[in-house]
Structure 1
Amino acid sequence: MPSRWSIFPGILKDSLTVFWGDWLDLRVRVTQVVASGLVSPLIYILAFGLGLGSALDSAMQPPAGDNYLEFILPGMVALSSMTISFGGTTFSICGERLYSKTFEEILLLPVHPLSLFLGKMMAGVLRGLMTSGSVIAIALITTGNWRFLSPLFLLVLILNCAVFSGLGVIIGLNVKSLEGVGLLNNFLIVPMSFLGATFFDPATLPIVLKAVVYLLPLTYTSISLRSAVYLPLAQFPWYSIPVLLLAAIVLSVVGAYQFSHQKD
């Protein structure tokens, strides 16, 4: 009798097949994908890192990094990966469901629903990594700190992309129009961009606000990326990795269920 674990190699193989289909479409728009997610971080870097940062540097010493620009750069990596992993995945699925009407072909594939979810999620992870890679390049040029490419930094970044691309898959399967995507983006992603510890250290917040901020997955990514770059390994918040991993697993379960009951 085959073990229940024996299905996972097949799920992984089918996931890669679904991912490959998305990659064939994505590879012709690589420049567009990278550029679209680079605009907001660049504006924040110029406005906050160079503009506001010059004033803050004369008044305070940031808890990580030599100046405020260095302090927010890991947060900008987290922000760019979140924005494109979520937005690119959501709009891609909405386009297939509502406009090109090709999504029904995906549902007819003889694969496990989890494979469909993981394949779409991996495409979102790739989108997020391409965009955040550009921000990392800017950070390397600005700071000369090669810890932006450390394995721990990249692990947290991949987990963050997985969480928000997984969320993007679920949202993409449920929204009824592109206006709905924009509404969710305004009420979910935009507030998280500012409250997810990208511009501040959550340790300095009052306990009530701290509790709210730590409900956001981006917070764990921001503090982890910042710690991976600037702080000793002993001060790294190791709890953030299982938190992000658990979030990705929960989203995978929900997404697989959604795919198994999807009608359009």
Structure 2
Amino acid sequence: MKILRVRTLQTLLADSLTIFWGDWLDLRARIPQVAASGLVSPLIYILAFGLGLGSSLDRVAPPPVGDSYLEFILPGMVALSSMVISFGGTTFSICGERLFTKNFEEMLLFPIHPLAMHLGKMLAGIVRGLLTAGSVILVAVLFTRDVWSFLNPLFLLLLVLNCAVFAGLGVIVGLNVKSLESVGLFNNFLIVPMSFLGATFFDPATLPALLKGIVYLLPLTYTTVGLRAAAYQPLGQFPWYSIPVLLVVAIALSIIGAYQFARQHD
């Protein structure tokens, strides 16, 4: 029985990598484009809020974390960029295969477990998110001149989990939408509000109890708070709860995604 389980896991992993490799062959030819695609919004936010508004806020009061308001929002910019590209890139990729190239039906005929299909697509979304987040991290390092703050193991672990959560969400949305216009609706009513309410520009600890409860319903909040602590605070002050929360959300989305793949008819 143990040998059978090991072989099942090996097969699941191999099949997931096979699905991922199909997306990677297309993705590797567009690495500069993917890496730069999510960089525009964070740069605007950094210039407008970090350097513009931040210079005024720094005169009034120091930020809760970091030496300046610019440093305070930089981890949030990394979280924001990885969320947008992991979700958007995955959703549009699956929509393109389903609605335009029409090769999605062929993948559904593969003798592959539905969970492997979800994991393969999710892995591609994680890579997309990491490529873009890497560009924002480079900008953050240039501003702070501190490499270790943005490349330590806890920071990278949270970043990967964040990409997994929103890539998994992108898979589910991509499997269910009927048109590209529908993708825009999900982006406007889910991703854009989360960009501003996910603790990117503020410390959720200062909010009233009701608003704090709403903010902590958003997975991006756990990523942003965790990245901020991993970058600037001692290990003893790290919010360890953020890791299991993001992991549980990613697993739950994987189960839902596998269920969707098992019943997909395109």
Aligned to 1:234: 236
Equivalent of 1:256 in 255, 258, 264:
258
Tell me, in whole angstroms, the C-alpha distance in 1 between the residues paired with 2:164 and 2:214: 22
Partner SS, residue 93 of structure 1 = helix
Equivalent of 1:159 in 154, 158, 161:
161
Partner SS, residue 58 of structure 1 = helix
Letter in 2 for 1:177: S
CA shift at 1:6, angstroms? 3.7
Using the size of structure 1 for normalisation, the TM-score is 0.98
Tell me, in whole angstroms, the C-alpha distance in 2 between the residues paired with 1:179 and 1:92: 14
Deviation string 1:179-212 (CA, Å, 9 cap, x unpaired) is 0000110000000000000000000000000000
Deviation string 1:130-163 (CA, Å, 9 cap, x unpaired) is 0000000011111012220001100000000000
CA shift at 1:7, angstroms? 1.1
Deviation string 1:1-21 (CA, Å, 9 cap, x unpaired) is 554454111101110011000
Letter in 1 for 2:169: L
User: In the alignment, does 2:57 pair up with 1:47?
Assistant: no
Aligned to 1:116: 117
Letter in 1 for 2:130: L
User: In the alignment, does 2:31 pair up with 1:23?
Assistant: no
Aligned to 2:212: 210
Aligned to 2:75: 74
Q: Which sits farther off after the overlay, 185-194 or 146-155?
A: 146-155
Show the 5 A alignment for 1:55-204: 55-145=56-146, 146-204=148-206
Q: Where do 5+ consecutive residues of structure 1 fail to align?
A: none
Letter in 2 for 1:161: C
Letter in 2 for 1:95: G
Tell me, in whole angstroms, the C-alpha distance in 1 between the residues paired with 2:81 and 2:101: 27
Partner SS, residue 61 of structure 1 = coil
Q: Identical aligned pairs, as a percentage?
A: 73
Tell me, in whole angstroms, the C-alpha distance in 2 between the residues paired with 1:30 and 1:212: 36
Using the size of structure 2 for normalisation, the TM-score is 0.98
Tell me, in whole angstroms, the C-alpha distance in 1 between the residues paired with 2:53 and 2:152: 29
Q: Where do 5+ consecutive residues of structure 2 fail to align?
A: none
Tell me, in whole angstroms, the C-alpha distance in 2 between the residues paired with 1:13 and 1:54: 51
Tell me, in whole angstroms, the C-alpha distance in 2 between the residues paired with 1:241 and 1:11: 24
